[in-house]
A and B are shown apart, each in its own frame.
Chain A
Amino acid sequence: MSKGILVHAFNNEEIDYVKQAYMVAERAKKYLNLPTSIITDSEINDSMFEHVIHFSTPQNYTKKLYNNGNNGTHLTFKNNARVLSYDLTPYDQTLMIDTDIIICDSTYKHCFEQDNPLLMYNEAHHLGQNLDYRQFNKISDPSVDFYWATCVYFVKCKQNKIFFNLLQHIEEQWSHYRMLYQITQSTYRNDFAFSIATHIMNGHSKGDFARQMPGKLYYTIDKDTLHKINDDELTFIIDENPIKTKAMTVHAMNKYSLEELL
Chain B
Amino acid sequence: MNQSLKKALEHADYVTTFKNQKRVLLEKYNKDCIVYYCGGQFTATRELIVSLMTIDCDIFVDNNSTPIKIISKGEFHNTLENAFIKANQSYYKEYQKIIKSERTVQGIINV
A binds B: yes
Measured CB to CB, the residues of A under 8 A from B are 105, 107, 110, 113-115, 125, 127-129, 208, 211-212, 214-216, 218, 235, 238, 241-248
Pairwise interchain contact B21-A244, C-beta atoms closer than 8 A: yes
Give complex CA distance A107, B27 in Å. 14
A127-B24 contact given A107-B31, A235-B109, A242-B17, CB 8 Å threshold: yes
Partner of A215, one of B19, B20, B34: B34
A245 contact set on B, CB distance < 8 A: 24, 28
- 8 A-B residue pairs with CB within 8 Å: A125-B27, A128-B20, A211-B64, A214-B36, A214-B41, A238-B20, A242-B109, A244-B108
B58 at the interface (CB under 8 A from A): no
B18-32 CB mask vs A (1 if < 8 Å, else 0) is 011101100110010
With A110-B41, A114-B36 as known contacts, state yes or no: A218 contacts B109, CB within 8 Å.
no
- What separation, in Å, do the CA atoms of A218 and B40 have in the docked complex? 21
Q: Select one of A127, A211, A218, A246 contacting B94, CB under 8 A.
A: A246
Contact, CB under 8 Å: A129 / B28: no
Provide the residues of chain B in CB contact with A212, threshold 8 Å.
41, 64
Which residues on the A side are within 8 Å of B28 (C-beta)? Answer: 245-248
Chain B, range 1-55, C-beta contacts under 8 Å to A: 13, 16-17, 19-21, 23-24, 27-28, 31, 34, 36, 39-41
B39 cross-chain contacts in A, Cβ below 8 A: 113-115
Question: Bound state CA distance, A105 and B41, in angstroms?
Answer: 17
Counting chain B residues whose Cβ lies within 8 A of the other chain, the interface size class is 20 to 34
Main secondary structure of the interface of A (DSSP, over half): mixed
B103 to nearest A CB, angstroms?
15
Given A125-B27, A216-B27, A216-B31: A244 and B109 within 8 A (CB)?
yes
Residue B70 interfacial (CB < 8 Å): no
| Assembly CA distance A81 to B2 (angstroms) | 58
Q: How many inter-chain residue pairs (CB < 8 Å) link A and B? A: 59
B23 partner residues in chain A, CB cutoff 8 A:
129
Output the least CB separation between B110 and chain A (Å). 9
B35 to chain A, nearest CB (A): 10
Chain A residues near B27 (CB-CB < 8 A): 125, 216, 218, 248
Whether the pair B31, A241 counts as a contact (CB closer than 8 A) is no
Closest partner residue, chain A, to B23 (CB atom)? A129
Say yes or no: A241-B94 contact (C-beta < 8 A), given A212-B64, A214-B36, A215-B34: no
How distant is A221 from chain B, measured CB to nearest CB, in Å?
A: 16
Residue of B nearest to A211 (CB): B64
Q: Which residues of B contact A216 (CB under 8 A)?
A: 27, 31
A241 to B23, CA, bound (A): 14
Query: Looking at the complex, which one of B19, B66, B105 makes contact with A242 (CB distance below 8 Å)?
Result: B105
Shortest Cβ distance from B16 into A: residue: A241
CA distance A211 to B64 in the complex (A): 8
Which residues of chain B come closer than 8 Å to A127, judged between CB atoms? 24
Considering the chains assembled together, what is the distance between the CA atoms of A52 and B108 in angstroms? 42
B 64-104 binary contact with A (CB < 8 Å = 1; else 0): 10100000000000000000000000000010000000000
CA distance A244 to B28 in the complex (A): 12
